[in-house]
């Protein structure tokens, strides 16, 4: 995927999530306004009923003009124009607020003609959590004589509590946005590190190949000279230089191929391949390198065949055998078991090597991973063999696993989808 296309997808995704978040916040704000209007309407109805009841049994009639004035969102004044008792007022307020399902705390005060000031009445707790009586200032109204005031000290928190769903949804969206931003930043950072790693590997290997080619050319010329051929010691040293240069060149090529395959998918040229002959050919090659190795094949049938890339399959087998031989302190003995199980063809490579601890066995297929032990320090390589094996398996949807043997060594098992013919 090109970087411009990736940036475009990231920006579009970010805009979409921010748009959803802004819309959610606007909806939440609108819902809060609606809840506020709803509470105000219920309060008006309840206070109007209180005013009507205070007029019952008197010679006065309820004024035609609306007696309720909303001074602020949480502060109301009710003009009675008639004398009334505080206890009766409190009883009516409680009963009418309860009828209207207003469950937030409130406090009320009445105007006192004698002192010409608002006399604080009481703090009424309608919520589950009771509060102590508070002393709150109620401003006096200039043009009214018989009136009372009601204040809702916790109106905002009451409205918020009735909108829990909206706030939870907004918090979830914000959390998703943060996760998205963090994921994108991590992705870009990993991409940057990956590109730096690729460039470093390419530059490093190419810088190695130039002097290595010169060493090989000079060594091959040198080993062909008569004086070198006549001196057994010099011939041996020159031959060592050539062999080690070839080995180093193979390692460099392996690193380059792995680095390339991480960015350009490997192309598999699949064909029908009989497994036993392919493995036997690979065993012959490995025994040329390690004459002392003993490798046995135990198969339920000689006619097992699969659709795969012959080149990569033989490389896969070679890497598994080579790895088993290198990590062995005694005479290497490898058994390859081939059998079918639950529509899977299984190839189990059992060795008698040094084994691996249970805490590290899951990492052996990671790139550049090498266990820190004495044997690893002796073995040449970069920890790419099993990574290559895992990559080839993944490309063909095969499964690979490693388990410890009861006595010593490990068993690496390939599981290949297979239908009996």
Predicted local confidence at residue 348, as pLDDT? 92
**More confident site: 61 or 16:** 16
Predicted local confidence at residue 139, as pLDDT? 74
Alpha carbons 325 and 285: distance in angstroms, whole number: 13
Q: At a CB cut-off of 8 Å and minimum separation 6, what does 41 contact?
A: none
Alpha carbons 256 and 248: distance in angstroms, whole number: 12
Q: Locate the domains of the chain by residue range.
A: 3-161, 165-261, 270-417
Name the band, by pLDDT with cuts 50, 70 and 90, for residue 349: very high
| CA terminus-to-terminus distance, the chain | 41
Distances in whole angstroms, Cα of residue 117 to Cα of each of 123, 139, 146, 170: 18, 8, 11, 45
What pLDDT digit, counting tens, does each position of 64-74 carry? 678 888 888 88
Predicted local confidence at residue 3, as pLDDT? 53
Predicted local confidence at residue 187, as pLDDT? 77
Highest mean pLDDT among 100-104, 136-140, 371-375: 100-104
**More confident site: 131 or 163:** 163
pLDDT greater than 80 at residue 106: yes
pLDDT greater than 50 at residue 1: no
Mean pLDDT check: name the lowest of 128-137, 144-153, 241-250, 251-260. 128-137
Fold type of domain 270-417:
Heat Shock Protein 90 (3.30.565)
pLDDT greater than 70 at residue 131: no
DSSP label of 24: H
Q: What per-residue string of b and e applies to 355-366 under the rule 16 or more CB within 10 Å gives b? A: bbeeeebeebbe
Which long-range contacts does 266-269 make (Cβ < 8 Å, 24+ apart)? 266/312, 266/391, 266/392, 266/395, 268/308, 268/309, 268/312, 268/395, 268/396, 269/309, 269/310, 269/311
Predicted local confidence at residue 192, as pLDDT? 77
């Amino acid at each position: 995927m090109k970087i411009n296309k990736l940036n475009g997808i990231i920006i579009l995704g970010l805009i979409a999530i921010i748009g959803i978040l802004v819309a959610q916040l606007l909806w939440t704000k609108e819902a809060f306004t609606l809840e506020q209007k709803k509470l105000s309407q219920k309060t008006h109805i309840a206070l109007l009923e209180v005013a009507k009841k205070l007029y019952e049994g008197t010679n006065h009639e309820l004024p035609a003009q609306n007696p309720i004035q909303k001074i602020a969102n949480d502060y109301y004044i009710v003009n009675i124009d008639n004398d009334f008792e505080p206890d009766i007022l409190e009883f009516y307020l409680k009963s009418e607020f309860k009828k209207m399902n207003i469950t937030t705390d409130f406090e009320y005060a009445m105007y006192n003609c004698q002192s010409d000031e608002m006399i604080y009445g009481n703090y009424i707790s309608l919520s589950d959590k009771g509060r102590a009586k508070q002393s709150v200032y109620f401003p006096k109204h200039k043009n009214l004589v018989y009136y009372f005031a009601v204040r809702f000290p916790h109106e905002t928190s009451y409205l918020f509590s009735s909108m829990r769903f909206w706030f939870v949804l907004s918090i979830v969206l914000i959390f998703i946005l943060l996760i998205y931003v963090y994921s994108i930043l991590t992705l870009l950072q990993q991409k940057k590190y990956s590109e730096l790693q690729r460039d470093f590997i390419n530059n490093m290997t190419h810088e190695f190949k130039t002097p290595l080619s010169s060493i090989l050319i000079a060594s091959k010329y040198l080993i062909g000279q008569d004086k070198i051929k006549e001196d057994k010691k010099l011939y041996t040293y020159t031959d060592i230089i050539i062999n080690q240069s070839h080995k180093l060149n193979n390692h460099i090529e392996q690193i380059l191929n792995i680095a390339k395959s991480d960015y350009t998918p490997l192309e598999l040229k699949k064909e029908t391949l009989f497994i036993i002959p392919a493995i036997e050919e690979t065993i012959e090659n490995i025994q040329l390198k390690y004459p002392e190795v003993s490798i046995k094949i135990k198969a339920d049938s000689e006619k097992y065949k699969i659709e795969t890339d012959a080149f990569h399959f033989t490389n896969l087998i070679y890497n598994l055998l080579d790895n088993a031989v290198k990590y062995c302190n005694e005479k290497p003995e490898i058994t390859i078991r081939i059998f079918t199980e639950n529509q899977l063809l299984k190839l189990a490579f059992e060795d008698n090597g040094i084994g691996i601890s249970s805490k590290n066995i899951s990492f052996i297929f990671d790139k550049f991973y090498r266990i820190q032990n004495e044997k690893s320090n002796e073995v040449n390589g970069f920890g790419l063999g099993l990574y290559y094996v895992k990559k080839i398996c993944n490309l063909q949807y095969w499964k690979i696993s490693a388990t410890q043997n009861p006595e010593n060594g490990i068993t690496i098992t390939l599981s290949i989808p297979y239908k009996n013919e």
